[in-house]
Structure 1
Amino acid sequence: MSDPGDVPPQILERLRSICAGLPEIVEEPAWIGVRWRIRSRTVAHVYVPDPDRFPVYAVHVADGEAPTVMTFRVPIEDLMGLSVAGFPFFRAPWGTNVAAVILGDHTDWTEIAELVTDSYCEMAPKFLAARVNPLLRSRQD
């Protein structure tokens, strides 16, 4: 099993390219994995959790490997839709507007770009959110 927090490099590269277009966003190491923040607010956090410490992730273990998880913010009215959609989405076990997604070979990176951009707009000051290029929301990597 991977060490908790060991995010696959190809996933980090994808997320870095998505976040690069967001004004004043900062990448930093988190207590586990990597997170992107605007000011003091977390926009996205990617990590490999330890299912033994956090049993909520045990159902997502495949072939003995812990999942790669990204958490992000969503408007509260969108959280229910993502939660009931099922795999790869679920409600994160903390926060009132935090969703989670399992990342891997199945990932739709266009959708992830939209979700990260929406999370940024949810967390950023309004003047920074207004600077987000609308085309960024629909670009394909």
Structure 2
Amino acid sequence: MDALDRLRALCLALPETTERLSHGEPVWFVRGKKAFVMFADHHHDDRRAFWCAAPAGAQEALVGGDPERFFRPPYVGHRGWLGVYLDVPEVDWDEVAELVADAYRQIAPKSLIARLP
């Protein structure tokens, strides 16, 4: 399974999540309205990554702590979103799952968040 398939599985496992293309890339939405994760494969830098909503302070902490794995994405970085590289030697998929769940919690209504384990 490649990185996109693994990311897709994590996103679509969350309640009332849908996927559709936006700007040529897969994006995952809560109830079809609000994006919480965006795949990024061709954004002017030849890197495979995803962008996700993140709790306050997470972007600064993760990018500052490991800029080889995390970055401030264009367009949404000023809103605190986090960029996560998927083309690094060893992707920590447990950590990616946590980041995806955290992104979902930032966007989803409380009634859906309550359905998470």
Structure 2 residue 23 is matched with structure 1 residue 31 = yes
- Other-structure match for 2:73: 92
Moved over 2 A (4+): none
Deviations 1:19-73 (A, max 9, x none): 232000001112121011103111111121242xxxxx3xxxxxxxx11120001
**Pick from 100, 108, 111: which aligns with 1:124?**
108
Equivalent residue of 2:57, what SS?
Answer: helix
Deviation at 1:89, TM superposition (A): 0.1
Q: 1:79 aligns with which of 52, 59, 64?
A: 59
- State how far apart, in whole Å, the 1-side matches of 2:90 and 2:14 are: 25
* 2:40 alignment counterpart: 47
Q: For 1:23, what is the secondary structure of its paired residue?
A: coil
Check conservation: 1:32, 1:47, Cα contact below 8 A. no
- Give the corresponding residue for 1:70: 50
Root-mean-square deviation (CA, aligned residues, Å) is 1.5
Instruction: State whether residues 12 and 18 of structure 2, in contact with CA within 8 Å, keep that contact through their aligned partners in structure 1.
Output: no
SS in 1 for 2:2: helix
> How many pairs does the alignment contain?
112
In structure 2, runs of 5+ residues without a counterpart are none
Contact 1:73 1:119 in 2 (8 A): yes
Quick check: 2:36–2:53 contact (8 Å CA) kept in 1? yes
1:107 aligns with 2:94: no
Establish whether residue 21 from structure 1 lines up as the match of residue 13 from structure 2.
yes
Percentage of pairs with the same residue = 30
- 3-state secondary structure, aligned to 1:76: coil
Bigger CA drift: 121-130 or 93-102?
Answer: 93-102
> Greater Rg, structure 1 or structure 2?
1
Structure 1, gaps ≥5 residues long: 1-8, 52-56, 58-65, 134-141
